[in-house]
Every structure is written in C-alpha cells, then in structure tokens.
Amino acid sequence: YPNPAKESFMVDGLIGKSQIQVFNVQGKLVQTYSSTDSKLEIERNNIPSGIYFVKISGANTTVLEKVMFE
C-alpha cells in the first residue's frame, strides 16, 4: 500500500527473513531487498512510472503482487 504509489509503498505482514524483488513488465529485476522486520518501505528511487511486479519470498511462502508507480 498505497497502490498506485508515488514515492514509495509499504510491504506489510512479513514473517521472518524475507526477500522482496521488484520486476518490470518485461520481467527484468529492478531492485532487491531483504528484511527481517514485519514491514518494509520500498522507495521509488530511480524507478520510472509504470507497472511493476513485487515478489515476496519467505517462510515457505511466495507472493506476487502488481504495483503501479505514478
């Protein structure tokens, strides 16, 4: 949240050590994060506007979410 995002978005509900990867629509890896906290703020940095996929992996679970940067 929020989605669409302007400057950053939050990944909430992480359990244990998690890896978060951001991919563009062509499937190219844009950014990778690692966290042991239950929340992680993903900042836009130099990511252009568009649609991205966020892959969240950890604790025997993998989730893929769509995020849009305005």
CB within 8 Å of 5: residues ≥ 6 apart? 44, 67, 68, 69, 70
Alpha carbons 52 and 39: distance in angstroms, whole number: 19
At 27-67, the pLDDT tens digits run 999 999 998 888 899 888 888 999 999 999 987 889 999 99
At 10-32, the pLDDT tens digits run 988 888 889 999 999 999 999 99
What is the CA 28 to chain-centroid distance, rounded?
14
Neighbours of 11 (CB within 10 A): 21
User: Is residue 3 pLDDT above 80, yes or no?
Assistant: yes
pTM to 2 decimal places: 0.86
Residue 48: what are its φ and ψ, rounded to 5°?
Answer: -70, 160
